[in-house]
Structure 1
Amino acid sequence: MSLKYAILGLLDEEPCYGYEIKHRFEETMGDLWPISYGQLYPTLRRLTGDNLVTVQVVQGKKAVDKRVYSITEKGKALFNRWLFGEDKKIQTSIKDEFSLSLFFAERMKRDELVSAIRKLHKKTIKRLSLLRGSAKSQGLDSLHYKKFLVRKMELMMEAEEMWLRELLEDLT
C-alpha cells in the first residue's frame, strides 16, 4: 500500500504537521507498519508538488516554525477514488532483505547459511509471539479492523516461520 493514501486519509480527517501524521499513523497501525521521517517528508513533498496537499507555515511553541499540511479538493477526490475503488493490489511480493540474500546464498558456506536462517527463524518466532500477545490484548476499545490487520500479520509470520523451518530441514 502506498503511504500517500494513508497520509491523505489522515489529512482528510484534519490538518496536521509531520510529527502528528507519523504519531497518528503509528497509533493506528502500531508496529504493523512503521514509517520513518525519511519516508514521510519526501511523500509529503510529492503530495504538495502534485497539488494533493497544501502546506502552511505556522509559529510553533518554541519559536520553531511548523509546517501544517492540509488535503486539497484534488487530494480528497484521489483519496476517495482509492478508498472506494475495487482495484487495490494484493500482496504478492517477497521483497525483503533475507529473500534477496538467498539469490547470493551460493557465496556462503553451508554452516554460515544455516546459522543465518536459524537466527532469522528465532527472530520470526519472537515476532510471532509478540503478535499473538498483541492480538490477545486487543480490547473492546480497539479498532475492529485493526484486529483483522493484526491477524493478517500473524498469519504472514506463521507462513514465514513455516517456510524458514522447511528451509532449515532442507539444508540439515
Structure 2
Amino acid sequence: MLELSILGFLAEEPLHGYELKERIKALTGHVRPVSDGALYPAITRLVGAGLLDQHTEPGASAAPRRILALTDRGREELLERLRRPKQTEITDHVRFNTVLAFLRHLPDRREQAAVLRRRLDFLQTPTSFFYASGKPVRAEEADDLFRQGMLRVARATGEAERAWLRETVALLDQPS
C-alpha cells in the first residue's frame, strides 16, 4: 500500500520526500505509520523501476530538495493497480481506503464501479470478530459488553459503507 500511496500522491503533483511522507501519514499514519526506513527504500525501488523521476531543486532556506514526479510508466502502473487491486486491498479496510483515495485517477467509470462492486461483494458475506460453533457471533449474542460494542460499531459502519457503495455504483453506472 505504501507504493500505491506514493504513486497516487505523485499522480496529483510532484513532491519532495518530506511532503510525500506527510501526505501518506495523513492518509494512513494513525493506523499504519510510515517510517523513513520503509518510505525511502520504496521510493528507490520505484525510481529504479522507472516509475518515478527525481531531480534536485534548491531549498527555500535549507539544503537542496529531491523532487519526485510520476513518469508515464508510473502513471500506467498506478492505473493498473487501481483497475486490479489485490484481494487483500479489497478485504482490508485500511488498504481499501488507500485504493479509494486514488480511484478517481481511473478515467473509466465502469472500471471504478467494478472495483467498488468487488468491495460490496466482499461486504455482503456475513462475518464477525468472534465465532461460536463456526458461526459468526452477532452483537445481540455476545455475552461481553465490550464485544457487543465492537460488533455494533462494525455493523453500523458496514451498513453505512454498503449504502454508500450501492449509491456510488448506481451513479457510476449512469451514462455520462
TM-score after normalising by structure 2: 0.49
TM-score by length of 1: 0.50
